[in-house]
Amino acid sequence: MRQLGILGGMSWESTSSYYRLLNQGVRQRLGGLHSAPLLLHSVDFAQIAALQQQGDWDAAGQVLAEIAQRLEGAGATALLLATNTMHKVAPAIEAAVDIPLLHIGDAVGQALQQRGIKRAALLGTRFTMLEDFYRQRLAERFAIEVLIPLEDQVEEVDRVIFAELCQGRFETASRDYYLKCMAQLRERGAEVAILGCTEIGLLLDGSQATLEMLDSTELHVEMGLDWLLGE
């Protein structure tokens, strides 16, 4: 198997899911005592979150680019950036290394394309929902029209992520709010909902959703597994 580098800690709640799912996936595909050969660098998320709030994406990109270089130097053959939002600085990371960054937007876009989906709802941080780096990639590479919640809903979806999910809190009221947002997006024409924040899958299990959910974490892990096993 190839060795995979993970840029994690944003937040560690979802990075732990990456570690578990990658190892479970290798065991399912190969059986026995096989597990995933991984190199993990987990950041102090407070530093990255502060740069996000300040809008200093150049500095955030530099931090992650330097980590990517260290992972490459340690033997990683490809990288997973275990967060949707920080793919805003994917170009800085890609420019700093000679190994591929397996882009979470491509994992999502490929899954949508395979299902024949043309219009998808997107839930994530306000950066992911409102800025172009994610929605534009889905539109240009995969011809996906992206719908996002209403303005006041965007703020609440974002608040829940940082104030609750990233801190290990999973509240019933927040789960109900997300389900309500998805139901309204379905009424507006969304065929599926992209869980475009790596923590949202920890909150929602899909049992009460009126819209099919595609978990970006799970799709990203599948892309990582394909790389690990050369598939």
Taking CA atoms, 19 is separated from 147, 162, 197, 205, 228, in Å, by 30, 21, 16, 19, 13
Cα first-last separation, the chain: 10
Q: What one-character DSSP code corresponds to residue 192?
A: E
The yes-or-no answer on residue 197 being catalytic is yes
Which residue, 151, 131, 147, is CA-closest to 191? 147
For this structure, is 83 an active site residue? yes
Q: Of residues 15, 83, 85, 217, which has the active-site annotation?
A: 83
Instruction: Give whole-number Cα distances, 230 to 26, 36, 94, 111, 154, in Å.
Output: 12, 13, 21, 19, 39
* Residues 58 and 20: beta-carbon distance below 8 Å: no
Residue pair 211/192 in contact (Cβ under 8 Å)? The answer is: yes
Among candidate residues 85, 181, 197, 217, the one labeled active-site is: 197
Distance separating alpha carbons of residues 92 and 83, to the nearest angstrom: 15
Residues catalogued as catalytic:
83, 197
